[in-house]
Structure 1
Amino acid sequence: MSRRVHTGDQSASEEAALTVVEQTSAALREKARATLGVTGDENTESFRALVRKHDLRYYPVVALGLLFATGAFQSYAFTVLTPEISRTMGISIAAIVGARALFQMAIAVAPLPIARLSQFRARRAMLCIVTGIVWSAITLTTGFVTSLVALILILCLDGLTTGSVGALHAPLIVDSYPPAARVRALTAYTAIGAFGQALAPLLVGILASVAGLSWRGVFLALGIASLLMTLCAIRLRDPGYGKWDTEQLRASVHQEHGEATDSLSSEDVALGFWEICRRVLLIPTNRRVYAGFAVYGVLTVPLGTFISVFLDERWNLGPGQRGLFFSMFFGIGVVALAAYGSRGEKQFRASPARVLRAAGLLLAGTVVFIALGGLMPALAPMVICFGIAGACIGLLQPMLGISLLSIVPSHMRPHAQALAGIFVAIGGTAGAVLLAGVQDQFGIGGTMVAIAIPGVLGAFIISSAGRLIEDDLDRMIDEVVEDEEIHRIKRSGGHLPMLSCRGVDFSYGPLQVLFDANFTIEDGEMVALLGVNGAGKSTLLKVISGIGLPTAGSVRYRGQEITYLDAERRMKLGITQIPGGRAVFGPMTVVENLRSYGYTMARDRGSVDRGIQTCFEAFPRLYERRNSLASTLSGGEQQMLGLSKALMLRPRLLLIDELSLGLAPVVVGRLLDMVRRINADGTAVVLVEQSVNIALNLVDHAYFMEKGEMRFDGRADELLARDDLLRAVFLQGAGAAQ
């Protein structure tokens, strides 16, 4: 029998520590929601009062707003001047739309590398300034292009540099101001940017019609103006990650226990770049919000290009008149943003769900009025319809942005915003293809009507996120609080299990198979995980090893959260899984399989050779078959080879799935002896087994699962006394075990 490696008092202490974690999280949840600006009421201080109260400045909002505005200069100059560029360079509208599609693809690619550059160091402000200078130079250079290839190159470079807007601006705003001021700060930032969007086409119209500049001269003038405005942001500084929220949540854990704040470094389990991106995409609210950003992308660059052509062909408006139209279109958005800031703060404070439901309604209203504008027979009602649509579009970005950035930890915000930029670009690219096809079939007026289809669908998706956002907000709060509570317990000398799964849910698509599963194991312990087929045993092992990611709950290893860590990184931390019946590489020989295990840990040849020799000493039969393909081995021999992985890797935690399935008793006995040896050397073992007889002869502690839930957790002899559970196992050997 495997002995428990800790006493009953230690076990009780571990369980008490985990209970404290849950109690602290529950006790602080409401306080944490208030820290994040969600109080359930609409009472807010004025933005000015909050700025003075916290000794802040308006400069970050203004500086980033100016950078946002200058980033729009080139794009909207193209929007207004598309007909003139097409005629002067002899390029078709379709070719220009294709070039703009590549521009959108460049925007899609750009945000993630920008977010990666700022992941480990707070240098977002520097990146914003540098990219602003670069795109200003690109705008100026546009006036010198003479071919379609050069035009495409310029557009792609512009798209790549403007990735900083999508990835960094909103997270910088959020980290620069306390939660009670964030909606208004984002709204003000967006309003300044929208003012720039309104100013750009107006400047284009003035420069082209009043000053008499050619389209090349317009780009030169806008490039100089963009550079001067960018230099106004030269004093922008990065405030660091989570000053006003995540760090305060962590501090509240220590305050709850009357302790000083002290954060513990967790570099070994810190999520990598792609792991963070995957984590952000797993949040249910985010997936729906990103759909909204995709539709928003359709409503920006490609639609603007077609509106310009619509005004040229349908209403015979010249560049000056088109510039005035777009200035009105975006200018109304500035007015709407100015009016919405305080109201939006109240909505978010009362319930973030209200913000998303309002965003869904605004998106639906946007596309409906665009469609109506395309059908209007007179100029005045057409302008009114597009003006209302412009007001709605102006409000969408801050509403979606605050919803997105409020439910992710501070260090993940650049990644979340970068992904939003990608979805905007995807929507823009898809919109260009969609609208170009509609134009060919139904004319330029048909494109205005066709936009209603994806828009209404996107509105329903965004509105549906309203029922998810508060749960996702609480989940983020719990993650931060629990993480800091674990650090506090470890620092104070408290003992925690080596592995702890708490409240784990897991689904295969729409089918949920784990429900609030809790599971712990201590260093050097060996436990059995029992249950009938389909109970969720193998799925729980996948969650522990990182092959599957849970939809809720947490996995902590040696006190650190590893819930969303990649499987290969968990292996290097000491977690190894041997899947039942699938533990070998069939086309490789026995020796090649063993070498692959060793080289996975980047060990030198000498260490790998010594490990192989150890495996051959443990399983002489493998030595006899060392040059045979693994696919030609018997079932027992394949399990020996699979179990040799543990001898090669020497993990701290070994997960074994169905070791005895289909094997002869003599082979099973030999394998079990090796499991005991591995455990005796200090490796903790989780044994998933259907045979109660085998499992309970190996371990003192067992878990029983049924229909994805933990039905029993205790000593093996206590399980033997539970006839109801043993009947549920319903496998050969249950009677013998009793």
Structure 2
Amino acid sequence: MLFAVPTLRRQYAAWWFIGAGFLPLAFLLPLYYKRAFHLGVFQRGVLGSLGAAAAFAGVLLAGKWTASWLAKGMGEPLKRAGWVLVAVGPGLLLLAWAPNLPLAIIVAVVVSFIGGMFTPAFITTQAFVSPARVRSLSFGFGLLFIVAGVWVLWIVPGVSRVSDHDGIRWAIAALTPYWIIGGLILRSGHKFVAADVGRAFAILTTTAELHRRRLSASANSILVCQDVDVSYGQVQVLFGVNLDLAEGEIIALLGTNGAGKSTLLRAISGLVPVQRGAIFFDGEDVTGMEPEDTFAAGLVQVPGGRGIFPSLTVRENLEVAAWASGRPRADAAASVHEILDLFPSLERRIEQQASVLSGGEQQMLTLGQAFVGRPRLLMIDELSLGLAPIVVEELLRLVRRIHEEGTAVILVEQSVNLALTVAERAVFMEKGEIRFAGPTSELLERDDILRAVFLGAATVETVT
């Protein structure tokens, strides 16, 4: 989720270079005073304290200025923080070649002061752009890049040995590029800040609103998609998709081939990253959550083209689903027996590998796995694809059964007739956007949408 925020990606990239410039400087500077000016331990300690005081003064001053920078634009503090880091680079060159101690002390104090000014602007920006759910993680995660930068950019390339081979002054000077490059990378992130702040606040606002609804409303939304954008590489597939699903509701998600229906399901499940927008499940922000975590939360997707383990037997497939659900063994076993009662053909082939089942039987097994897990939300992608009508009717019987037990269902279909016999509400997608959302009775009055669905399905059949 953190890497889905462009500003954070730039900040983490900058941390590699900041780490390679800052941490080595912390222990090279006392060595510089010792080797270049032959100062003792106490004197070096005093100068270290003076530098720390200067850095603190820079933090205090920049803390006051950050408010005025924000007034000029949300990205202004990060831009200033980048320039501050860039300014440290030339300061280190002056420090490295200072001809006498007084000048070295003055330069060191000024550099420390400038370096301190970086902190308030940087932290403010990171706090604003980080989604509330992972804000503390975003700060802790950055420390990993600081340490990694020391190893990858300073120790491994051999820069750490400059002090021994070429002298302490060259060692200080060698840190200059890290500060300049890190500052320029950090500054480049300022153009993303406004959009990322808007997204973070939208997520926070929606989360608060969902919690308020759950306390005051009688009907709860189990799924909310808000302004969701998804891209595959440079190709954008979803454009500002908004979807709301009530708890226990069943909807039909319709659209022609390539409309973005399957991509929306994959985004909800965490299988593809969301570039913009937010997804909430049961009142919690699940945007960017890993698929195993969304499954554990009760969100299950049945993929198109079957979702079984072909090398396992029918029994083993159902046992895996029972184990993954985390339900008590007795309850899961009862659900397995229920599935076998509903689908006698699976019971007859219980010890056979799933790969030898017919297409319809494989889809039965896939739905059976979902039934065993007792999900809060079940998303089914192309239930009827390539199956005989009699098999589809058997599958629909199980879908209704799952729904009757309180599970919300999203049924992706190209068959309008099939979808409308099951769903209470329909959503129609075209070219990555939702063009219609409402009761199925209203959809039947929209000839333009029905024509698009039927023509799209006919085109697919013709090509096939």
TM-score relative to the length of structure 1: 0.55
Match of 2:198 among 461, 471, 474: 474
TM-fit CA distance, 1:396: 1.9
Q: How do 1:66-465 and structure 2 match up within 5 A?
A: 279-310=1-32, 315=36, 317-320=38-41, 322-323=44-45, 326-327=48-49, 329-348=51-70, 351-374=73-96, 385-408=107-130, 413-433=135-155, 436-437=158-159, 439=161, 443-444=166-167, 445-465=169-189
> Which amino acid in 1 is paired with 2:186?
I
TM-fit CA distance, 1:322: 4.8
> Which amino acid in 2 is paired with 1:391?
F
Name 1:619's counterpart in structure 2. Answer: 343
Kept in 2, the 8 Å contact 1:303–1:432? The answer is no
TM-fit CA distance, 1:510: 4.8
In structure 2, C-alpha distance between the alignment counterparts of 1:337 and 1:677, rounded to whole Å: 62
> Which amino acid in 2 is paired with 1:426?
A
> Which amino acid in 2 is paired with 1:629?
Q
**2:244 counterpart of 1:520:** yes
**2:259 counterpart of 1:535:** yes
In structure 1, C-alpha distance between the alignment counterparts of 2:419 and 2:458, rounded to whole Å: 10
> Which amino acid in 1 is paired with 2:13?
A
How many aligned residue pairs are there?
457
Name 2:230's counterpart in structure 1. Answer: 506
In structure 1, C-alpha distance between the alignment counterparts of 2:421 and 2:359, rounded to whole Å: 22
> Cα deviation per residue 1:251-279 (whole Å; 9 max; x = unaligned)?
xxxxxxxxxxxxxxxxxxxxxxxxxxxx4
What secondary structure, in the 3-state scheme, does the structure 1 residue paired with 2:126 have?
Answer: helix
In structure 2, C-alpha distance between the alignment counterparts of 1:399 and 1:732, rounded to whole Å: 54
TM-fit CA distance, 1:317: 2.9
In structure 1, C-alpha distance between the alignment counterparts of 2:133 and 2:409, rounded to whole Å: 35
What secondary structure, in the 3-state scheme, does the structure 1 residue paired with 2:309 have?
Answer: coil
Name 2:456's counterpart in structure 1. Answer: 731
Note the residue ranges of structure 1 that are not aligned, 5 or more in a row: 1-278
Kept in 1, the 8 Å contact 2:89–2:180? The answer is yes
TM-fit CA distance, 1:728: 4.0
TM-fit CA distance, 1:449: 4.1
TM-fit CA distance, 1:367: 1.6
Q: 1:607 to 1:490 in 2, by over 3 A?
A: closer
TM-fit CA distance, 1:451: 2.8
> Cα deviation per residue 1:3-24 (whole Å; 9 max; x = unaligned)?
xxxxxxxxxxxxxxxxxxxxxx
In structure 2, C-alpha distance between the alignment counterparts of 1:498 and 1:411, rounded to whole Å: 18
TM-fit CA distance, 1:366: 0.8
Q: 1:513 to 1:449 in 2, by over 3 A?
A: farther
Kept in 1, the 8 Å contact 2:219–2:247? The answer is no
The root-mean-square deviation of aligned C-alpha atoms, in Å, is 3.4
What secondary structure, in the 3-state scheme, does the structure 1 residue paired with 2:219 have?
Answer: coil
In structure 2, C-alpha distance between the alignment counterparts of 1:364 and 1:532, rounded to whole Å: 52
In structure 2, C-alpha distance between the alignment counterparts of 1:697 and 1:491, rounded to whole Å: 33
Name 1:242's counterpart in structure 2. Answer: none
Say which is worse superposed, 558-567 or 288-297, in terms of deviation: 558-567
What secondary structure, in the 3-state scheme, does the structure 2 residue paired with 1:713 have?
Answer: strand
> Cα deviation per residue 1:684-707 (whole Å; 9 max; x = unaligned)?
321112334443444353212122
> Which amino acid in 2 is paired with 1:420?
G
Kept in 1, the 8 Å contact 2:228–2:274? The answer is yes
Note the residue ranges of structure 2 that are not aligned, 5 or more in a row: none
Kept in 1, the 8 Å contact 2:50–2:109? The answer is yes
TM-fit CA distance, 1:616: 1.4
Q: 1:696 to 1:580 in 2, by over 3 A?
A: same
> Which amino acid in 1 is paired with 2:116?
G
TM-fit CA distance, 1:723: 4.6
In structure 2, C-alpha distance between the alignment counterparts of 1:301 and 1:281, rounded to whole Å: 24
> Which amino acid in 1 is paired with 2:265?
L
> Which amino acid in 2 is paired with 1:301?
L
